[in-house]
Structure 1
Amino acid sequence: MPKMSVQQRANIMYKCLEISEILEVIIDHVFMSSEGMEGMRAVVALALTCRDFLDPALNRLWHSQESLDPLIRTLPPTAWAFYGKSVVTIVRPLLPDDWTRFRQYASRIKVFGCDPRHPDGSLHSYAALNYTLLEAFVAQHPGLPLLPSLRHLHWSSGKMDPKTLPYVPLIAAPTLNTVSLDFTHHLRRDDARAFTTALIRSIRLHCPDLTRFLVNELQPHTRPVIGTALRRWLAQKRQYVPSLAFRDIMNLAGMRFLREAQLFLDDTDVGAVHDATALTFSSLRVLELHARTLGVCLALLKTARSCELEVLSIYVSERPVADLIFSLLSELHTVCDPASLHNVTLLDTANDDYIPYRSWNADMPSRYRAFVVDAHTLAPLAAFTQLRTLVVEFSAIYDMQEASLTRMLSARPQLEVFSLGAMHGWHAASTLTLSSLARMLTLCPQLRACGLALDCSCVELDVAACRAGALRPNHLVATLCLADRKGADELLLAECVQYLFPNLRCFE
């Protein structure tokens, strides 16, 4: 192969710079290689080296904006001023020619309301809107979206006061595919609910490609799989997030490409749910339901038509009876395809003090018998053999034997997360030991997180089995939650756990 000259190499390089995808990869690498303002300064420096980098660099710098303040500063300098240290305000009426640069930069914004590199948000994320700007935009651009290329909208509760309602259509761009509502700084629930209803209605009319509707989303890597931290977070979240009216859910169900939804259900709409026609979530794959009672979730599932759900999570605040749990699990057969459903999470955040802990025998009071969860209660799950996550954390009285759990695990060799009554406890004596747990876990070679109640009174026998090499260590389980380990010898328990799970990172 002949050796290329310097000029030939330069020509090839210039040809490469004509490919927009290559320029975008270079710009993204420079931007993400540094934190905060340093990444932005690096992109600006790169753009100044070659004209070909200018347009991709501007797209990167304007890709994500937390507030409208940077856009306001693209207006003529005579049209705006700083109020205080950082608040930008309009100081004169805006003319048609003032919007030229504004619209050029607005069309580059793809994410508004948050910075993807800092999902927890900043003060800019919760800053109030400039209503003078919005009013002027509507007057001179009727029917046009404020951010015409918007893909991801992250809207905080601080922007949900009644003055925002007339401007909701401005943020419902046709290109929108993800909406996440943040109620961290919730002030007035009625105002937030009115805004949510107006936003969903606008999305239904103007955003045909919406794929994700999230409420106060928690990043997967920060969400605890098992434990009291998840329970506290869910209980607090339920207090501040407004429930959706059934008409809101119907509007979301009409979205053809909706794949992921987090829905807070209103208990007062149960009658409307029962009387409604079937809801068609044709593309839904991930569904998360929050409600006060499990009956509301069951009513919604009965109304929904069959869909290929992959992930189902249900969080309720009241303790359900066992018969209701059985009915809900049975209903999954008509809604979900057993071959596609991979993750099931069911839990409540009820007060554990209602059911005292004791060794239940034939003298169990009748008022508690409705809350006994046994193998029959969970029997409808037998059809879902492709599960990778199975979390059942109801505050119930668990009557589960080793044989039943062994059958449950042996039918699901792909399980990665398994938890049964670890968050609230079993409120009854468990017959499982660490030795039996170690034997059961060999049935699920991919398991990495497990939560169960064990009988730790005989931990000495488990330690003896470990020392004799009769039990094989599990090197994959990184999270282990043992409920009701009262009275155990903590030193012997620690020795046994350390031997059986040498790579454990979280132990509750």
Structure 2
Amino acid sequence: MAHCLFISEIQLSVFYWIFVLDTSHEKHTAQATLAALARTCNAFHDIALDVLWQQFGTIARAIQCMPHDLWGGDMNKSQSGCICLKLHRHLTKDDWNIFRRYALRIRHLSLATQDVRRGKTLMVDIDDELLACLASMDPTQPLLPNLTSLEWIIYDERDLRLIRRIMTKSLTSLILEVWAISPVPDLQQFISSVAPTCPSLRKLVVHSVALSSHLRYSVSQTLCHLHHLTTIHCGVLDGEVMDHLSRLPSLLELKFALQPNSGFQNELLFEQLQVLDVHAQDITSAVDFVSRMRNKLINLSIFSDDHTGASALAQLFRRLSTSVSHCSLRHLQIMVAERPHDSPSVLNLDDLHPLLSFNRLTHVHLDVGCGISLDDVAALELAQAWPNIIQLMLNKFLETPFPSSISPIGLMCFLKHCPNLMELTLEIDFSFVEEQDDQWHYWVGDATHRYLSVFDVTYSKIHDAAKVAAFLSCVLPRTAQVLYSWIHALDDQREYAERWNEASRLFRRMKK
């Protein structure tokens, strides 16, 4: 064997590429190759196991490396349908030494119960008693000493005792989900201990069904004592912690809920921030927050429960155009609660004009709670301003008394200027096509779009399903499906829902 292959750095690089080059989802080939290298050559044993366990090692697999009479698998009766590892006898020192040998190599821990609830397919769950026995074997050492990433659900006090044994100073990513129904006495103290226990933490995610004011304060104080954070997902944050976070040079991603009437004393820099996701109870707070920022955001999402009008939204758009770099923003999402039907409001092109300055946008999703009134001229301006657009969604879930005036001609013009478009949600007035016989063939010509795969017409009205289906099948040969928002179960919407259902069926047939 070549002498260079005895050098650990070269082995590590080569073995890592075994993992990278396996493009399959489960990466079975990479796992089998690394396991074979570890078994067949003493020179490769340690490095191959390091790579194998860093990429694929789990606490369940470490348990399964212990003697088979120690643990057993029972079919879990929960909806997950996975195998539950349970303790069949007392844990001995020899068992612990076997577990420890593999536990040293584990870098990531995510309990199976959590992953199943997130929709991931896992076959193994771990009984709490088995985890507790492992955690009690050597109280002077962390259960997984070299762990860097941890995901955990907190139901009660027992979960806190376990997670304290697992958290280490090497941890860089911590995801906590508090699912406790009743109060957990030491939860606030535990949250406060995160910073001194994990000083190198770079990613912190804290989700809770109901964060108490005391727990929110603990989260804020913990964030103030972490200085290397790159990613934060949490609940409500106050003004003090926002000032601290805005000065962090490492922070790249921030998702949080904006406290009402937050008192921001200074400009919020966020110089390196790339992803911002803010949930504000009212648009005024969101406007105030955004107006204090000077950044180079790539992805911006704003959610609000406020039943606001077009004027407040127009003000938000103007503030965005002066606070966020026009060259950097790629993804923009704004979701606002729907206004009552007795107080209709509508946005027009002039209101949207500040957003047109972001000429590198690729994804735009606006569900703004009020109507968006556009015509063919507006469609052309949007297309010319956003030539790189890949996904455009306008009021997917809102039926308004101000229907769009974009005609099929405006739709074709938009598609012509946006060649990369893959998903479009837009209300169209198809009456121009329905009123003609087959004359639309002459002005359509060969103007087809090559990439659009999903077209959602939302609450577009339709009268002649056959003509609309023929037009769309000609213009959108690559589109897999045409969606609509009309609901069959509602009497006042059933007519349009049935017609669009027929148009969708004809559209699919014409494409075969």
Q: TM-score, normalised by structure 1?
A: 0.71
User: Residue 313 of structure 1 contacts residue 344 of structure 1 at CA under 8 Å; is this kept in 2?
Assistant: yes
Judged with a 3 Å threshold, the aligned counterparts in structure 2 of structure 1 residues 100 and 170 are, in CA distance, closer, same or farther, namely: same
Shift of 1:123: 5.8
Judged with a 3 Å threshold, the aligned counterparts in structure 2 of structure 1 residues 154 and 431 are, in CA distance, closer, same or farther, namely: same
2:439 to 460, 464, 472: 464
SS class of match (2:171): coil
CA distance in 1 between partners of 2:182 and 2:374 (Å):
42
How many pairs were matched up?
A: 450
Judged with a 3 Å threshold, the aligned counterparts in structure 2 of structure 1 residues 99 and 211 are, in CA distance, closer, same or farther, namely: same
User: Which residue in 2 is equivalent to 1:414?
Assistant: 388
1:160-214 CA distance string (max 9 Å, x none): 423223454544434434444568xx563866x985x667645544445544445
1:202-239 CA distance string (max 9 Å, x none): 554444554444578xxxxxxxxxxxxxxxxxxxxxx9
Q: Quick check: 1:248 aligned with 2:240?
A: no
Judged with a 3 Å threshold, the aligned counterparts in structure 2 of structure 1 residues 11 and 37 are, in CA distance, closer, same or farther, namely: closer
User: Which residue in 2 is equivalent to 1:438?
Assistant: 412
CA distance in 1 between partners of 2:192 and 2:88 (Å):
30
1:484 to 459, 464, 489: 459
User: Which residue in 2 is equivalent to 1:62?
Assistant: 53
CA distance in 1 between partners of 2:4 and 2:57 (Å):
36
CA distance in 2 between partners of 1:318 and 1:435 (Å):
35
CA distance in 2 between partners of 1:250 and 1:300 (Å):
21
SS class of match (1:381): helix
CA distance in 2 between partners of 1:308 and 1:439 (Å):
31
User: Residue 82 of structure 1 contacts residue 88 of structure 1 at CA under 8 Å; is this kept in 2?
Assistant: yes
Aligned residue type for 1:285: Q
Aligned residue type for 1:504: T
User: Which residue in 1 is equivalent to 2:252?
Assistant: none
User: Which residue in 1 is equivalent to 2:448?
Assistant: 473
User: Which residue in 1 is equivalent to 2:157?
Assistant: 162
Range moving further from structure 2, 99-108 or 118-127: 118-127
1:135-170 CA distance string (max 9 Å, x none): 444x323xxx44333333233x3x442322345454
User: Which residue in 2 is equivalent to 1:53?
Assistant: 44
User: Which residue in 2 is equivalent to 1:133?
Assistant: 134
CA distance in 1 between partners of 2:125 and 2:321 (Å):
42
SS class of match (1:153): strand
1:375-394 CA distance string (max 9 Å, x none): 34333324322222121112
Judged with a 3 Å threshold, the aligned counterparts in structure 2 of structure 1 residues 284 and 188 are, in CA distance, closer, same or farther, namely: farther
Judged with a 3 Å threshold, the aligned counterparts in structure 2 of structure 1 residues 122 and 380 are, in CA distance, closer, same or farther, namely: same
1:324 to 305, 312, 327: 312
CA distance in 1 between partners of 2:416 and 2:425 (Å):
15
Judged with a 3 Å threshold, the aligned counterparts in structure 2 of structure 1 residues 433 and 401 are, in CA distance, closer, same or farther, namely: closer
> Where does structure 1 lack aligned partners over 5 or more consecutive residues?
1-9, 217-238, 356-366
User: Residue 268 of structure 2 contacts residue 293 of structure 2 at CA under 8 Å; is this kept in 1?
Assistant: yes
Aligned residue type for 1:288: D
Shift of 1:21: 3.2
SS class of match (2:343): helix
Aligned residue type for 1:161: D
User: Which residue in 2 is equivalent to 1:219?
Assistant: none
Q: Quick check: 1:308 aligned with 2:296?
A: yes
SS class of match (1:112): strand
CA distance in 1 between partners of 2:100 and 2:418 (Å):
56
Shift of 1:478: 1.9
CA distance in 1 between partners of 2:297 and 2:313 (Å):
19
CA distance in 2 between partners of 1:506 and 1:253 (Å):
49
Q: TM-score, normalised by structure 2?
A: 0.71
Structure with larger RCO (C-alpha < 8 A, sep 6+): 1
CA distance in 1 between partners of 2:217 and 2:356 (Å):
32
SS class of match (1:245): helix
User: Which residue in 1 is equivalent to 2:273?
Assistant: 284
Q: Quick check: 1:147 aligned with 2:144?
A: yes
Aligned-residue Cα RMSD (Å) equals 4.4
Shift of 1:252: 4.2
